[in-house]
């Protein structure tokens, strides 16, 4: 689900927030020295009104409090918040805040949506690009759950080219430290337990209206790769081959397309991922990223803080490639003391730091306690 929708759903509003980039060979996996201190990140949603002075103060607070890297959202599947030559531009926000963040010594990783596309021109011109559910409904005109869940189909070469071109353009911004991939997955076939009541649904199995993608290209490619005719499978949800096929669609896009494109521009590549990865067909444990940031929003799963520790440990142990894991923490779920406990649980689980969602949800008291915790671990 969209992170800003999470805030609205839980009834909490947002509050108003230079490490030099090193050149690496394009085929090198960028893994930080594990002996270094913890590294902390913060997601940021666009705010277009604050002045440069306001941003300077916010970035100063963040850096002083122990944030090393920020992840500002610069493409939301509908508008670009930078000077794009291929996407509809809302405002050149990136160009405004990037130099200010770098001046405070913060890494800047541009957060962009991958699979959803809500650009009207794309939807009307290329409706065949969009995923189709098991009922035969296209996400182009009948998306699951919410209107912006218009996911593209990763089996189509044109879609892969579109997403790769979006990443390639953004990666060419010189001062960026990295590209952060979001929504690099399929729609949730099963929502987190705490989200389901919002839509008045109970998902005790994989229902056809939420199960993607069954377009002609996917069915044909699946038969070509496995010899299995999906149209003759009585219950596709029981097919391990069909499940793996979809995992592999996203993995190939990441490992064979987006990672090499980003690395060629000497940028790091990271991703926001789900702990319940099977539900979004997102086998991130085999991706060749520079870091992975699982969104361990425990309240969405009706879980306590111990779950964050357990999921962090599980995530670290699942990784097939050497990369750091930074636990994503949902700030509105915690008072300042609770936030400290969530961070400590993440570190105990093996995280090399945390990522806060979001910087705008951090109060002065949150920042103060976070700073105390981080400074005590330096």
The mean pLDDT value for 145-154 works out to 98
Cβ-proximal residues to 73 (8 Å cutoff; 6+ apart), any chain:
43, 44, 45, 46, 81, 111, 112, 182
pLDDT in tens, 325-361: 999 999 999 999 999 999 999 999 999 999 999 999 9
Q: Mean pLDDT across the chain, nearest whole number?
A: 91
Residue 377 pLDDT: 76
The mean pLDDT value for 252-257 works out to 98
Residues 343 and 329 sit within 8 Å (Cβ to Cβ): yes
Residue 34 pLDDT: 34
CATH superfamily for 3-13+37-376 is: Glycosidases (3.20.20.80)
Residues 268 and 177 sit within 8 Å (Cβ to Cβ): yes
| Six token digits for residue 312 | 């962090």
Q: Is the pLDDT of residue 9 over 70?
A: no
Q: How far apart are CA 342 and CA 330, in angstroms?
A: 9
Q: Is the pLDDT of residue 40 over 50?
A: yes
pTM comes to: 0.91
For the chain, domain boundaries: 3-13+37-376
pLDDT in tens, 113-139: 999 999 999 999 999 999 999 999 999
């Amino acid at each position: 689900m969209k992170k800003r929708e999470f805030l609205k759903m839980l009834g909490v509003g947002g509050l108003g927030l230079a490490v030099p980039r090193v050149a690496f060979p394009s085929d090198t996996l960028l893994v930080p020295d594990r002996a270094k201190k913890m590294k902390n990140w913060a997601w940021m949603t666009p705010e277009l009104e604050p002045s440069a002075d306001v941003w300077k103060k916010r970035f100063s607070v963040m850096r002083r409090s122990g944030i090393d890297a920020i992840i500002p959202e610069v493409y939301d599947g509908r508008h670009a918040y930078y000077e794009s030559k291929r996407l509809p531009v809302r405002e050149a926000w990136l160009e405004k805040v990037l130099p200010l963040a770098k001046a405070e010594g913060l890494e800047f990783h541009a957060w962009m949506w991958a699979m959803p596309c809500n650009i009207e021109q794309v939807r009307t011109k290329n409706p065949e690009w969009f995923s189709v559910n098991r009922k035969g409904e296209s996400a182009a005109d009948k998306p699951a759950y919410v209107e912006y869940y218009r996911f593209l189909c990763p089996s189509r070469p044109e879609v892969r080219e579109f997403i790769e071109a979006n990443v390639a353009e953004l990666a060419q911004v010189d001062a960026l430290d990295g590209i952060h991939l979001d929504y690099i997955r399929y729609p949730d076939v099963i929502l987190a337990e705490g989200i389901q009541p919002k839509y008045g649904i109970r998902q005790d199995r994989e229902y056809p209206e939420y199960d993607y993608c069954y377009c002609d290209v996917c069915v044909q490619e699946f038969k070509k790769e496995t010899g299995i005719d999906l149209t003759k499978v009585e219950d596709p949800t029981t097919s391990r081959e069909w499940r793996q096929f979809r995992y592999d669609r996203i993995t190939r896009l990441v490992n064979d397309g987006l990672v090499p494109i980003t690395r060629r521009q000497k940028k790091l590549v990271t991703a926001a991922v789900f702990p319940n990865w099977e539900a979004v067909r997102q086998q991130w444990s085999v991706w060749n990223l520079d870091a992975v940031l699982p969104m361990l929003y425990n309240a969405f799963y009706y879980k306590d803080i111990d779950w964050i520790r357990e999921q962090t440990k599980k995530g670290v142990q699942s990784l097939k490639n050497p990369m750091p894991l930074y636990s994503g923490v949902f700030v509105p779920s915690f008072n300042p003391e609770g936030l400290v406990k969530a961070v400590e649980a993440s570190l105990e689980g093996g995280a090399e730091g945390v990522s806060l969602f979001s910087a705008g949800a951090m109060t002065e008291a949150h920042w103060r306690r976070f700073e105390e915790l981080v400074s005590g671990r330096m």
